Amino acid sequence: MAASRDLVIGIDSSTQSTKAIAWTREGEALAEGRAPLALSNPQLYHFEQDSEDWWRACVIALEDLLSKVKAERIAALAISNQRETFVPLDEAGQALRPGILWLDERARQEVDDLSAELGAETIHRITGRFPDITPCVYSYLWLKRHEPEVFARTACFTDVQSFLVQRLCGALKTGWISADPMGLFDLVEKRWAPEILAALELREEQMPTAFAPGTLLGEVNDEAATATGLQPGTPVFAAGGDGQLAGLGTNCTAPTRAYINLGTAVVSGVWSPTYAFDRAWRTEIAAQGEGYILENCLRSGAFLINWFVDRFTPQGRSNPNVFSDLEEAAEAIPRGCEGLMALPYWSGVMDPHWDTAARGCLIGFGGGHGPAHVYRALLEGMTLDQVMRTRLMEKNAKLDITEYLAIGGGAASPLWRQMLADASGKTVQISDTVEASALGAGMIAGYGAGWYGSIVEAAEAMAGKTTAVEPNEDHRRDYEELLEIYSGLYDATAATSRKLVAFASRGTAA
């Protein structure tokens, strides 16, 4: 690689936007381009995107970036992508319908049915994921039942990375860490699971070819170069799921430091050298290609905060001061929100309950409660839920996690990060790298470009600095009491939530 090629690009194609960031060998973000992504909610529980928007946003982000740095400086690129999201393509590589997102909940019945056919424990053992609506595999079954023509014409069920790699390089290739979230990848054998493919009457060639992190997937072709401004021949290396890459981007490559992404969802994971599966977490292949990530996921994170702000505050997020005003007001409210508590399961619950029909609630309302109480209660509910799940993971996996490293938009909230430290009793490190997933992709590109001898070496060299938030032990006593109360809230509401979801799913005449 020529000496002038002193930058790599990490592309982060996430749920709400695409970022293209140029990284130096030291992990400094030299320049950035970005583009928004629209999210469609065409009916209850359905969340979709136009897959062409994935490519258009990628093009816009790259064009923006390459207006700031010269394309001839780019040594390589890699892609981080929103996980558990796919689009079915026909033989010509054209989308047969909009992409179905990880937020989608239409396949609840299919979760039950495939679990009954194959056995929930068999699925869990093979894929590392207890049956749940989030992995793509259940939506494949939904398509087979509800859109059989689309299912029959599908030549490839394509994740976001392979969709973009096809546009950049002309081949449907992806990485292990994009394949495994789809829910039919054997995490030990590192291949598409024949038992699950057979149950869906799918062939292996209907899935993108999956490669280890850091594998060369192809080179940017002339058509993509013209569209994006990249130079033809720029190498593209296998990266993948944004959660695993966030862990890599924060150098969480040892079993004592857990990353926590306070983003659209609240996602926390810790590295393990060996494969283990348990209902207290979902297991994934680690971004460095060695070992695994044991991961918690609360589907409604900042998504829930934005929902509250947009639906229940004047002007919503169009008010530039809405978050700072809520933070200031919530800071003045005592821990426990003067008797108000939230169960943050607005989109069902994954670990440890694995209940697609779980729903959120606010309990304890009184006449003195206002918007700031609700805001604080939502933050406290998400925080208590994370502490509960981390402790269960530590117990069942025999881990001793000493610190979180927080990333994502929520990490900018002084209230939330201090709350997490206080409730967990762990130090919360705040990374100076906001775009950890894009940095993780950049680390893999740096390894692919030959800058480093391993992906772990790239992580050690390119990870940024952190600032510590220490727990307040006086506050922790209150949170321990709140956690005891919170731990019974799911069981107290689960049956009612199931009845309400069943009622809503039937629909009623106006």
Would you write out the chain's pLDDT as a tens digit for each of its 510 residues?
445 899 999 999 999 899 999 999 999 999 999 999 999 999 988 999 999 999 999 999 999 999 999 999 999 999 999 999 999 999 999 999 999 999 999 999 999 999 999 999 999 999 999 999 999 999 999 999 999 999 999 999 999 999 999 999 999 999 999 999 999 999 999 999 999 999 999 999 999 999 999 999 999 999 999 999 999 999 999 999 998 999 999 998 889 999 999 988 899 999 999 999 999 999 999 999 999 999 999 988 888 999 999 999 999 999 999 999 999 999 999 999 999 999 999 989 999 999 989 999 999 999 999 999 999 999 999 999 999 999 999 999 999 999 999 988 899 999 999 999 999 999 999 988 879 999 999 999 999 999 999 999 999 999 988 999 999 999 999 999 999 999 999 999 999 999 999 998 887 555
Is the preceding omega at residue 273 within 30 degrees of 0, hence cis? no
Contact predicate 462/22, CB 8 Å: no
Strands 427-431 and 403-407: parallel
User: CA gyration radius for the chain?
Assistant: 22
Residue type, 5: R
Other C-beta atoms closer than 10 Å to the C-beta of 508 total: 6
Per-residue confidence (pLDDT) for residue 44, from 0 to 100: 87
Distances, alpha carbon 284 to alpha carbons 309, 431, 432, in Å? 33, 23, 26
| Adjacency order of strands within the sheet including 99-100 | 48-49, 99-100, 86-89, 156-159
Tell me, rounded to whole angstroms, the distance of Cα 285 from its chain centroid.
14
- SS3 label, residue 143: helix
How does DSSP classify residue 411?
G
Contact predicate 161/79, CB 8 Å: yes
Is the preceding omega at residue 352 within 30 degrees of 0, hence cis? yes
- SS3 label, residue 165: helix
Length of the chain: 510
- Among 398, 128, 177, which Cα is nearest to 290's? 177
- Among 185, 83, 178, which Cα is nearest to 134's? 83
Per-residue confidence (pLDDT) for residue 239, from 0 to 100: 98
Its sign, for the CA torsion 56, 62, 65, 70, is negative
State the residue for tokens 């390089």.
Answer: 169
Per-residue confidence (pLDDT) for residue 465, from 0 to 100: 87
Q: 18: which strand partners?
A: 13, 35
* Distant-in-sequence, close-in-space partners of 229: CB < 8 Å, separation ≥ 6: 62, 63, 66, 67, 71
The C-alpha atoms of residue 384 and residue 489 are separated, in whole angstroms, by 11
Tell me, rounded to whole angstroms, the distance of Cα 443 from its chain centroid.
18
The C-alpha atoms of residue 400 and residue 364 are separated, in whole angstroms, by 34
DSSP 177-209: HHHGGGS-EETTTTEE-HHHHHHHT--GGGS-E
The C-alpha atoms of residue 64 and residue 54 are separated, in whole angstroms, by 15
Tell me, rounded to whole angstroms, the distance of Cα 12 from its chain centroid.
11
Per-residue confidence (pLDDT) for residue 508, from 0 to 100: 56
SS3 helix, strand, coil % of the chain, rounded to 5? Answer: 45, 20, 35
DSSP 460-478: HHH---EEEE---HHHHHH
- Among 447, 407, 402, which Cα is nearest to 427's? 402
Tokens standing for 486? 């919170």
Phi, psi of 235 (to 5 degrees): -75, 145
- Among 258, 294, 252, which Cα is nearest to 277's? 294
The C-alpha atoms of residue 229 and residue 63 are separated, in whole angstroms, by 6
Strands 48-49 and 74-81: unpaired
